[in-house]
Structure 1
Amino acid sequence: MCSHVVRSSSAGCGSHRRRGSLPSGGGYRSAAAGRTIGEPRCRPISSRGMALTDLTLTDLARRTPRSSRALPGPAPLALTSTVLLGAGFLVREGTRAALTVRTMKEQGREVPVLDLDLRLPGRPPVRRVAVLGDSSAAGHGLSDADDAVGRRVCRALAERDGRATDLRALAVDGADIRCVIDHQLEAARDAEVVLLGVGANDAIRRHTPVRVARELTELFEAIREVAAAGVTIVLVTAPDLSVAPALPPILRGPLGWWCRTTARVQAAIAEQEDVQVVALPREVLDPEVFGDDGFHPGALGHERTAAAIVERLIGS
């Protein structure tokens, strides 16, 4: 049985404390960034999940590249009618999308938060593993914490060499890269392995490639400041959420573009920083991979992600 608590609906990234988190206003100085780890700088969200309130049609589509420009000169009557019909379609689909997103938000508020922390017995020295990131890394929607990526990976490592293994997880719903930097680094202290699953919320919030690259570089440097020497970092990049069953069709194109763009930037920066990368191709993101909400990964999704991570860490 998994242990869990239910978070208040007003909680956001970094606005609550979990076991091992830093107290509000506390923290320690980061020499590289010149700031105090633990300062509450992460943008608040009003619901659980991947900040779905940010999935507004106008905002999401506004900054998505367009392949065509408006035709010059006065539009013919037929073209005007087509435009009007298209506008009506967009209004209808936009309304449906807004209602869908609102429903997903309401349903996500009561999803329990899993306690992923784990201690596996074995021979010394103890191996410390940290899980940082967003709702997928936190196991949003899973009924059993043992199904989560972090616990699956820890069991595989312990079974391989018999070492005692401690897992600390501070991943939280709604987290983007900046949130991980500001609120989750304590879990990585003295860790030999850091599992990092982040990027989806950066895509949803339309963070530019320049920003993603800059903040991800900062995050890798900050992890290495607090983790054990020679720490192994594994990054699970942003998935292509355009295939999520619950996503309204009108959002698939814009969100898919942002997810793929974010993932490409993440992979490039990870390669530069000697970080292992796990990217689940779109072909394996079939409906069965997603959980009951049709947006977050279910047990099968966590199983496939963990298998890919283990292959990176210890081979198949």
Structure 2
Amino acid sequence: MPSGDYVRYVALGDSQTEGVGDGDDTVGLRGFADRFAEHLAAVNPGLQYANLAVRGRTAGEVRAEQLGPALALRPDLATVVAGVNDLLRPRYDAAEVAGHLEDMFAALTDAGTHVVTLTFPDVGKIMPLARPVRSRVLDLNTRIRAAAARHGVAVAETGRQAVTTDPRMWTEDRLHASPLGHERIAAALAHAIHLPGTDDAWTLPLPPQRVPSRRQAAGAELRWAAAHLGPWLGRRLRGRSSGDGRTARRPRLLPLSPPPDSAAQTGPRDSP
């Protein structure tokens, strides 16, 4: 399908797709899916967009809770991004996670939907304390590429670009992309489907910045662990999730309204 013919876009996933890190619950979330929809709408102003993502969801939960509703919306384009919440858990089954992703790829493409996904950056470079799961990330990326190839799914290779591990691409919790990170992810997705007017500028490095000393870096790690890692582990131990009680913020296909930073552009905004 030519890129300009996309009229129904549905996003499936967890907190990154929901938009956590780009806006908040007061002003509304934006996120890479909203920003990607803006790229699509620039080519086809008639685009309608739904976002079924909910923070904290594992790949299996995304499949169980979002795949059916997504298929019911009959999208001609869908993004499927999940697996990070699985990677960080002690009990991690790579084949099972990749299987859930491939099942979603298969169901959507069999229904005539063009699907695009992405690979994950090296979390060990973003969170040094997470280096033990680096091999999991690399392995999952390999499995994602193989599953995508089997089903004709486009892949935005955000896992292979050094810029995606730049601290400025991430919020203070280092688990969620910053507004700049979400912007680059959206551009990567648009480039992956060869949307007119897109290029590989999203891969360019950010301007140089001062490198912290070892002492400063160690202090930053301790502060991050206390402020973010500790509470996250506490929720895991209590069997809690950041997504408990939450539902999709945009469950229906809706036309786009101007993005929050420019009334002159066409882009999505959360419904009131």
Give the TM interval when normalised to the shorter protein.
Answer: 0.5 to 0.7
Q: Does 1:293 align with 2:173?
A: yes
Match of 1:138 in 2: 18
- List structure 1 runs of 4+ shifted beyond 6 angstroms: none
Give the superposition deviation at 1:126. Answer: 7.8
Distance in 2, Cα, partners of 1:178 & 1:167? 23
Distance in 2, Cα, partners of 1:163 & 1:209? 39
Give the superposition deviation at 1:264. Answer: 1.4
Give the superposition deviation at 1:287. Answer: 0.3
**Distance change >3 Å, CA 183–CA 145, structure 1 → 2:** same
What TM-score comes out, normalization by structure 1 length? 0.54
Q: Quick check: 1:204–1:259 contact (8 Å CA) kept in 2?
A: no
Distance in 1, Cα, partners of 2:86 & 2:120? 9
Give the AA of the match of 2:14. Answer: D
Indicate the SS of the match to 2:47. strand
Q: Quick check: 1:199–1:263 contact (8 Å CA) kept in 2?
A: no
Deviations 1:227-254 (A, max 9, x none): 5x2x11001223322222xx3x4x3321
Deviations 1:259-290 (A, max 9, x none): 12111111111111110111212511200000
Match of 1:307 in 2: 187
CA RMSD of aligned residues (A): 2.3
Match of 1:156 in 2: 39
Q: Quick check: 2:60–2:97 contact (8 Å CA) kept in 1?
A: no
Give the AA of the match of 1:261. Answer: D
Give the superposition deviation at 1:145. Answer: 5.0
Q: Quick check: 1:125–1:163 contact (8 Å CA) kept in 2?
A: no
Q: Does 1:128 align with 2:3?
A: no
Deviations 1:78-136 (A, max 9, x none): xxxxxxxxxxxxxxxxxxxxxxxxxxxxxxxxxxxxxxxxxxxxxx9881111111111
Indicate the SS of the match to 1:140. coil
Q: Which has the higher contact order (CA 8 A, sep 6+)?
A: 2
Match of 1:213 in 2: 98
Distance in 2, Cα, partners of 1:145 & 1:283? 30
Indicate the SS of the match to 1:184. helix
Residue correspondences, number: 185
Within a 5 Å distance, the mapping from 1:66-215 to structure 2 comes to: 127-143=7-23, 145=28, 147-160=30-43, 162-185=44-67, 186-188=69-71, 189-205=73-89, 206-215=91-100
5+ residue gaps, structure 2, are 200-272
Distance in 2, Cα, partners of 1:214 & 1:168? 24
Task: Specify the structure having the higher radius of gyration (Cα).
Answer: 1
Indicate the SS of the match to 1:293. coil
5+ residue gaps, structure 1, are 1-123
Instruction: Decide which of 99, 118, 121 is 1:239's aligned counterpart.
Output: 121
Q: Quick check: 2:108–2:114 contact (8 Å CA) kept in 1?
A: no
Give the superposition deviation at 1:178. Answer: 0.9
